[in-house]
Amino acid sequence: MRTNTDEAKALVVGGGIIGLSIAKAIRDDIGCHVILYSPLHPLDTTSAGAGGLWMPFHCEPAELVNSWSQETLKYFLDLKHKGDSLVETLDAFQFGSKELLSPPTWAHHLGGALNFQVQKTRELYGIIESQALLQNYSHVWSFTTPVINSPKYLERLLASLESDPGAEVRLNDRAFSSMEDLATYACANGCTFAVNCSGLGSKKMLGDENLTPARYVVYVYISW
């Protein structure tokens, strides 16, 4: 861990996977003091119910997302190879028509670690039971991807911060009503910068009525 020499202090708002990860990254990579602030315990956030499936999805800017996703993929596959029970791998399928004829930019991350293939749906008869599903599409992306036990991973990140003398964890406190409210709190606690990781909590804090949750559905889980 790097030594803090410039008296910087961070306020990270949000106790989900992003907030916890950002707080830990600040401690590990910058070394300055961190206050993690959240009105919810991590296991009460939407992250606790996340499927934990690795897959870049409709995110911009593409170049940065590709870089971040590859770094994340390597991190979780390394945990898997070390026998970490938080991570398993499974075969995933994304169905479509003409738009799936070309592989995505992340298909060949880490030299083909994903075993990515573009297949015709008829090749999956006998593997996927729902014939009606297959008949609606012409092609499919198939790949092997890591899946993370989200609640356990949240607990691990939280425990790491709670045991770190350079981090303060403040949970189950009030939600900020505005960015001005957040800034006032940050200044009152000597923070020199703040990172907003409040997710859907930003809808109220920023007055953004257009903010809506994204959803991903696991249609079928196949285990051999």
- pLDDT tens digits, one per residue of 46-88: 898 888 889 877 778 888 988 999 999 999 999 999 999 999 9
What is the per-residue pLDDT for 100?
64
Q: What is the pLDDT of residues 5-29, one digit of tens each?
A: 467 999 999 999 999 999 999 999 9
Q: What is the pLDDT of residues 37-46, one digit of tens each?
A: 999 999 999 8
pTM score, whole prediction = 0.84
Query: CA-CA distance, 41 to 151, in Å (whole number)?
Result: 11
Query: CA-CA distance, 77 to 80, in Å (whole number)?
Result: 5
Strand pairing category for 139-148 and 167-171: unpaired
DSSP string, 136-196: T-SEEEEEEEEEE-HHHHHHHHHHHHHT-TTEEEEES-PPPSSHHHHHHHHHHTT-SEEEE
On the question of pLDDT at 2 being above 50, the answer is no
On the question of pLDDT at 223 being above 60, the answer is no
Q: What is the pLDDT of residues 122-160, one digit of tens each?
A: 777 766 666 666 777 888 889 999 999 999 999 999 999
Asked if residue 100 lies in contact with residue 93, where contact means CB atoms within 8 angstroms, the answer is no
Token digits of residue 201: 């909590």
Give me the mean pLDDT over the 184-202 stretch: 95
What is the per-residue pLDDT for 224?
40
What is the per-residue pLDDT for 1?
42
- pLDDT bin (cut points 50, 70, 90) of residue 4 is very low
Phi, psi for residue 31 in degrees, rounded to 5: 90, 0
Give me the mean pLDDT over the 191-210 stretch: 91
Asked if residue 141 lies in contact with residue 94, where contact means CB atoms within 8 angstroms, the answer is yes
On the question of pLDDT at 209 being above 70, the answer is yes
* Torsion angle in degrees (nearest 10) through CA of 205, 16, 214, 65: 100
What is the per-residue pLDDT for 139?
84
What is the per-residue pLDDT for 180?
95
Q: What DSSP designation does 3 have?
A: P
Report the share of the chain in percent with pLDDT over 90: 55
